[in-house]
Amino acid sequence: MKIIAANWKMHPLSEKEAIKIARASDATNAIIFPPELFLKSIKKVLKKSSLGAQDVFWENGVGAYTGGTSISMLVSAGAKYVLIGHSERRAIFKESNDIVMNKFVASYRGGMKVIFCIGEPWNIRREGLSAINAFMLGQLSSVFKKISRSEFDPSKIIVAYEPIWAIGKGKTAFPEDAEFAAQVVKKWFVKRYGSSPRVLYGGSVDSKNSRYFLEQPSIDGVLVGGASVIADEIKQIIKLSR
């Protein structure tokens, strides 16, 4: 079954609204990423979906890291997944490749499953396919240089291909281009590790366009942002995926 990952970002305002959205999203193939503040209450509501955190700090356990939340804290709140490398974290929170790498490695070694986001900005898109591939593979290399063949477990990793110019803009990649990107990513992993994790597409996915991505053979699901906090939208996207 294809995966529906719901990245709520900084939505909604109230716990009541969060619970309503979670109820509409509860399905065995869904992974829900609410704001950290709502993790525990959403955990109680979800009967089928997995729970994920939108961010984590790379030092585990406890420590003098003001504002930080560790992997063990997220796990005790019920989170199994964490989102790493999202373009909003990279651009707005100034997360460098090194920070992204630290978060990835700590989460992966700490036993969490990771959705690792990659994707090119518009200026790279304009240069064409080989520039896009080089950009994506550069983002993968910067993290996976730390993961040895013996340590690699594709069941603990999901890659989300999210072209930055499509995120929150109401325009998507062409499904065939997203399919091609997923193939490039999978080939890269197979060459390096002998097997590949699953690959999602993200960027302005909604109930009207999700089917075009879900029907692509190399795309294993979608990462939904804006539409995932509209109960009727996410319900419909999940319905179409089953």
The residues carrying an active-site annotation are 86, 162
Site residues (CB under 6 A) for ligand PGA, limited to 135-194 = 162, 167-168
User: In the bound complex, what is the minimum distance in angstroms from residue 161's beta carbon to ligand PGA?
Assistant: 11
- C-beta of residue 110 within 8 angstroms of C-beta of residue 72: yes
Give CA–CA dist 123/167, Å, rounded.
Answer: 15
| 124 binding ligand PGA? (CB under 6 A) | no
User: In the bound complex, what is the minimum distance in angstroms from residue 41's beta carbon to ligand PGA?
Assistant: 22
Binding mask 127-146 for ligand PGA (x = CB under 6 A): --------------------
Give CA–CA dist 198/185, Å, rounded.
Answer: 10
Give CA–CA dist 179/169, Å, rounded.
Answer: 20
Member of 50, 204, 216, 241 binding ligand PGA (CB under 6 A): 204
Provide the 3-class DSSP secondary structure of residue 90.
Answer: helix
User: In the bound complex, what is the minimum distance in angstroms from residue 5's beta carbon to ligand PGA?
Assistant: 8
Site residues (CB under 6 A) for ligand PGA, limited to 214-233 = 223-227
| Binding site residues, ligand PGA, CB under 6 A | 7, 162, 167-168, 202-205, 223-227
